[in-house]
Structure 1
Amino acid sequence: MTMALVGMPNSGKSTFFNGLTGSHSPIGNWPGLTVELHQGNVQLQGQTVGLVDLPGIYDLHGLSEDEVIVRRFLENTPLDLLVLILNASQIDRQLRLALQVQQLGLPALLLLNMADEAERFGVRINTVMLSHQLAMPVLLISAKYNSCFKNVELELAAVLAKAGPPRRVEGLEERLGAGEAELEGRLAELLNQCVQLPERLRDQRTRRLDQLLLHPLLGLPLFFLVMFLMFQAIYALGVPLQGLLGQLLGGFGSAVLTPLLAWAPAFVRGFLLEGLYQGIGTVAAFLPVIFLFFLAMAVVEDSGYLSRAAFLMDALMERLGLDGRSFVLSLMGFGCNVPAILGTRVMRSKGLRILTMLVIPFSLCSARLNVFLFMTAALFAPKQGAAVLFSLYLISFLAAILTALIFKGQFPSREPLVLELPPYRFPTLKQMLGRSWGEVRHFWFWSRKFIIFGVVAVWLLNNLPFGVAPASEQSLSGLLGSALQPLLQPIGINPKLTVALVFGFIAKEIVLGGLAVIYNQADTIQLGHAMARDISWTQAYSFMLFILLYTPCLSTVAVIRNESKSWGVTLLSVFWSFLLAWLVAFIFFQGSRLIGVH
């Protein structure tokens, strides 16, 4: 048996779905659709029933991608029951969707979520009368506090027992169109008979906060302050956790795996430890930051503040073909591009999601920042170092703006940004932890094979052919560096720096380790001296420009592929960023030579 869950965005649909089925729900493809839908199982009186979570929609007549997906699903998939969830505190704006569902002729159950919030605002709903008028059971629930699921399960079992054989919706457009002329009249009648609304919502807390947080002058500075504090919290906790996880993995490798593999030839041992095991560690190193990022995002998004931040920036970003959410996620990318791209799931327009994915990798992430801090300290005077870092941040913004302007025509957003400004609410600890763990689990599930393959490939490049020093000029990576000189020499990147770029494609954190191997200097101070003797400051700055803009790290590429579902978009991101990096570095390096600066 199969049920489908449909409802408006911000109605608590995902919270209900996770609470009813468990937060670790799989994702699967459905016939006739090009997207993946969440699905889970519910035990109802000893019988397993499938539940599919459909995208949030405002109108079954709508033309947005999500609304088209829902219509196709209903037309192609036989269902035993359609579960509709609406926000009880906004029932005057959402009840229209219930009338459209009634027209479909499927067995249905209406759940009015956030009943506690509706009561606090003074909204009164006669569920008995509403159920009679809609010819479907109606329940008031509060999914956030898990106080409803027993009653919901009993009602689901009762409705399914009377539902008859599963069926799809045939002639969906005709069914909806037939009663469209009478819909507004029926909606007004239902609200008059079944709903009592206060003259003014009693949400003084939201009104007072919005006076400050949406202030024309103070709103944006406060938002930047909140984001800054959030980044500080994420990385103040995430970096030590990453270090601890790295020490644990390194200790396990030294104490357990190395003795176990002592029998193996050196090449095989190096492959398993430095290649395969390092690949697993590379994936695992992202997990603490991703967990903390989505923990913070759960607060920012579920509290209602993300919608307000998007509102503040929307007018400016619209000129670039983006919207306010694109700005928020690009800002998140300054911490780490990977979770920022994962955050594009909040966008309904495919074109907007793709354009935002192309822009985010230009955000100067913390991994690149580590490389730049080292190089500015090693190759520039302290007073110059601050200006160098500021210029790199400025160039990252300009690269994102240029990318949006160039590609906005190729990936247009054909729908206006519809923003609900929900009342401020704080998610429960269980919600935050469940969401964060679900995202970490999802990231680990799809990324590990892709990233491990890349790490192993780079290790082989650095250690083949047999008998040469790792990452030397005689190794495959060294030969590759020499082969790429016609391309990279015009921008001041020598063979040694080229090999470091191979490391950087896997993860920008590996660049410093690669440079240490290449220059045969384990100590960072000695490494800085060695590089200062080998390259000029113009070469160093050109190298940093290239690192800033060139091909995203392998994790970011994997995320773009997974989220866009398109190799074309993924390759576009890779080649455009490489081209832009080369052009910017070429203009700087050759321009500096023309004016006699070295």
Structure 2
Amino acid sequence: MPPVAAARQARRLAIIGLPNAGKSTFFNRLTGLSQRVGNWPGLTVELASAKVVLGSRLVEVVDLPGIHDLSGYSEDEAVVRDVLCQSVFDGLVLVVNGAQLERHWRLVLQLSTLGLPLLVLVNMHDEMRQLGIRADLAQLSQRLGAPVVAMSARKGDNWPAVRSALTLLAEQAPLREHACRADQVNVPALAPGAVEQMLQGAYHVPATLPITLTHRLDQLLLHPWLGLPMFAVLMALIFQATYLLGSPLQEALGSGLEWLQATLWQPALASAPAWLQSLLLEGIWQGVSTVLTFIPILFVFFVLMAVVEDSGYLARAAFLMDASMTRLGLDGRSFVMHLMGFGCNVPAILGTRIMRERKLRLLTMLVIPFSVCSARLQVFLFFVSTLFSAQAAPWVLLSLYLVSFLVAMFTAWLFKRALPHRESLVMEMPPYRLPAMAYLFTRASGEVKAFLQLASTFILVGVVLIWALTHLPMNGDATLATRLGDALAPVLDPLGIRHELAVALMVGVVAKEILLGGMAVIYGVPESGLAQVISQQLDWVAAYSFMLFTLIYVPCLSTIAAIRKESRSNGFAALSVGYSLLLAWCVAGGFYQLAHHWLGRA
């Protein structure tokens, strides 16, 4: 056996398709993973891979970014060409939208020229039937010289036949030793009419498509006057539901963690030295448990956002916002990336690869860090539930999201002349689809799991660091945290941010997940006790100022690293950090001073 083949026993298959063809949905169903799936274009931007058993073969499947054309100029299309040129694949699995086969078949013909075994999966076969679209897949398979199989990746229709075709591809494809040559990937232009000739007589679309539910809903949801207000109402309902459904679960989990500390950890550590008890209980346990109490609220939020994304409504939001975004030097995709940052800023930064022009990508990367990511969300949920009434809390939370959008828009307006572009928005408007309940819970569980995996190391390191700052030296002198707070007082006092919170903000630069755990360590109290301490030491004005600063100031190190990687510029990453710090100080300070002046006069 050749050395390369001996080192790589598993067959490797690449999954390729146009954006919104259902490629990642197929990948998730095949592998059982929760790769992020959204019913709008350009979501898959990194290479997800998994190993599955097909027949007698161990097969590695790799989910490539969605592309329109192998000869395109976007970064995603360049990524696919590079991967095909530099990696070894034994076969290609091409997922196409059966309701739009004229648009997707060009990529099929391009990939067929690479000389690799090919399997075409005609997805959304259920929607084809609803629209009266017919396809002779046997005839298409004969013309293409490769198997063509119908399926619905979302519903699992015809899944046994799909598995059989994949197994046949994996068992019959020879184990290759070398990647495609660069000249093979640089596919020449197809002959005029090649797609029409291939589909002629085998693909039939009714002259008049039936009026669907999607058409009726779009008349209302895309209304030029009602569309945006309805979107704002929808987001407000999501925040209300997140708070009302998540808060009781949060309280129950917090009580359980306190019981666990009292009945298990404290007796177990009773004989340990005082400093070790303090580190483990007041430091690590209190910090980590405070973060864990927000898992229920995050789960509810991600379930609701998954409904918005997978239903197809997010693409409509991008369309509605495109005109406004264009005036700010952005486009509708920039708005989508900002919404994507609700989960995490890092994948949103990576998502800018779908944009061709570098200056548009840079401007979008500059505004994404102002999205209310899941780490910031848990901080805001704590403060609004602690210092505001149950009736006011959802509206305070909504106001922070509005500030997020306003700050992003102001930033785009400020820098649009320095980063002009001419790229136009071209975006597919998918039909509305009812998300599967299993997917919603899998997606939300995956988001929470990813949050915990990303946060676990940072939280542990952060709370230990904060414990050291607040307890050292132990000779009775001022602690390191006190000295650090005194040094920052001239800068943060005008914002109403106390010394203890200043220390948490400093460590929060590493990861915003540390903020709440850090405050629990600083004050030396559990989650329930932290709420009482904060309510005694802060009024609502100071608390809102702190939340504004947390919303706008330096993004986490992972986001900074992503900006540096995608912009390929240390200077641009430094600009993002410095600008956000200055803007946070101005906004939070302006609010605090004006609010106190107004309240004083009142």
Query: Which residue of the other structure, out of 271, 284, 287, is the alignment partner of 2:295?
Result: 287
State the TM-score, normalizing by the size of structure 1: 0.81
Q: Which has the higher contact order (CA 8 A, sep 6+)?
A: 2
Number of aligned residue pairs: 565
Deviations 1:524-574 (A, max 9, x none): 889767668xxxxxxx857743541257699x6256257657495776555
Deviations 1:359-396 (A, max 9, x none): 3159995734754786789xxxxx9x999999988765
Q: Does 1:4 align with 2:14?
A: yes
From the superposition, tell whether residues 494 and 14 of structure 1 become closer, same or farther in structure 2 (CA, over 3 Å).
Answer: closer
Structure 1: gaps (5+ residues):
27-34, 378-382, 533-539
- The 5 Å alignment of 1:462-473 reads 462-468=470-476
In 1, Cα distance between equivalents of 2:424 and 2:273: 62
- Higher alpha-carbon deviation: 359-368 or 12-21: 359-368
Query: Which residue of the other structure, out of 297, 300, 312, is the alignment partner of 2:308?
Result: 300
From the superposition, tell whether residues 574 and 243 of structure 1 become closer, same or farther in structure 2 (CA, over 3 Å).
Answer: farther
Query: Which residue of the other structure, out of 366, 382, 389, is the alignment partner of 1:355?
Result: 366
In 1, Cα distance between equivalents of 2:532 and 2:268: 35
Aligned residues of 2:470 and 2:479 also touching (Cα < 8 A): yes
Aligned residues of 1:477 and 1:499 also touching (Cα < 8 A): yes
Deviations 1:320-375 (A, max 9, x none): 34333544665687xxx555765666653454662342231599957347547867
Query: Which residue of the other structure, out of 400, 425, 432, is the alignment partner of 1:424?
Result: 432
Q: Does 1:47 align with 2:82?
A: no
Indicate the residue corresponding to 1:535 in structure 2. none
In 2, Cα distance between equivalents of 1:89 and 1:111: 13
Aligned residues of 1:355 and 1:407 also touching (Cα < 8 A): no
Q: CA deviation at 1:186?
A: 1.1
In 2, Cα distance between equivalents of 1:291 and 1:442: 12
In 2, Cα distance between equivalents of 1:127 and 1:48: 28
Aligned residues of 1:16 and 1:144 also touching (Cα < 8 A): yes
Indicate the residue corresponding to 1:367 in structure 2. 379
Indicate the residue corresponding to 2:179 in structure 1. 168
Indicate the residue corresponding to 1:30 in structure 2. none
In 1, Cα distance between equivalents of 2:181 and 2:373: 47
Indicate the residue corresponding to 1:399 in structure 2. 407
Q: Does 1:248 align with 2:260?
A: no
Deviations 1:487-535 (A, max 9, x none): 33565656466457558765565698689779xx969889767668xxx
Q: Does 1:126 align with 2:136?
A: yes
In 2, Cα distance between equivalents of 1:175 and 1:362: 39
From the superposition, tell whether residues 155 and 289 of structure 1 become closer, same or farther in structure 2 (CA, over 3 Å).
Answer: same
From the superposition, tell whether residues 525 and 543 of structure 1 become closer, same or farther in structure 2 (CA, over 3 Å).
Answer: closer
Aligned residues of 1:362 and 1:397 also touching (Cα < 8 A): no
- The 5 Å alignment of 1:525-536 reads none
Indicate the residue corresponding to 2:582 in structure 1. 579
Q: CA deviation at 1:448?
A: 0.8
From the superposition, tell whether residues 332 and 375 of structure 1 become closer, same or farther in structure 2 (CA, over 3 Å).
Answer: farther
Indicate the residue corresponding to 1:477 in structure 2. 481
In 1, Cα distance between equivalents of 2:451 and 2:325: 29
Indicate the residue corresponding to 1:138 in structure 2. 148
- Higher alpha-carbon deviation: 429-438 or 15-24: 429-438
In 2, Cα distance between equivalents of 1:144 and 1:531: 49
- The 5 Å alignment of 1:375-386 reads none
Indicate the residue corresponding to 1:104 in structure 2. 114
In 2, Cα distance between equivalents of 1:527 and 1:73: 52
Q: Does 1:72 align with 2:82?
A: yes
Alignment partner of 1:144: what SS?
A: coil
In 1, Cα distance between equivalents of 2:203 and 2:260: 62
In 1, Cα distance between equivalents of 2:550 and 2:234: 30
Q: Percent identity?
A: 40
Alignment partner of 1:145: what SS?
A: coil
Query: Which residue of the other structure, out of 309, 321, 326, is the alignment partner of 1:318?
Result: 326
Aligned residues of 1:500 and 1:514 also touching (Cα < 8 A): no
Alignment partner of 1:74: what SS?
A: helix
Query: Which residue of the other structure, out of 194, 201, 206, is the alignment partner of 1:198?
Result: 206
From the superposition, tell whether residues 503 and 94 of structure 1 become closer, same or farther in structure 2 (CA, over 3 Å).
Answer: closer
In 2, Cα distance between equivalents of 1:16 and 1:151: 14
Alignment partner of 1:310: what SS?
A: helix
Q: CA deviation at 1:151?
A: 1.8
Indicate the residue corresponding to 2:559 in structure 1. 560
In 2, Cα distance between equivalents of 1:117 and 1:274: 56
In 2, Cα distance between equivalents of 1:398 and 1:303: 26
In 1, Cα distance between equivalents of 2:529 and 2:495: 27
Structure 2: gaps (5+ residues):
1-10, 37-44, 356-360
Aligned residues of 2:16 and 2:64 also touching (Cα < 8 A): yes
In 1, Cα distance between equivalents of 2:106 and 2:133: 17
Query: Which residue of the other structure, out of 155, 161, 164, is the alignment partner of 1:151?
Result: 161
In 1, Cα distance between equivalents of 2:423 and 2:126: 33
Indicate the residue corresponding to 1:59 in structure 2. 69
Q: CA deviation at 1:63?
A: 0.8
- The 5 Å alignment of 1:433-582 reads 433-468=441-476, 474-489=478-493, 495=499, 498=502, 501=505, 509=516, 541=541, 544-545=544-545, 547-550=547-550, 557=556, 560-561=559-560, 564=563, 566=565, 573-582=576-585
State the TM-score, normalizing by the size of structure 2: 0.81
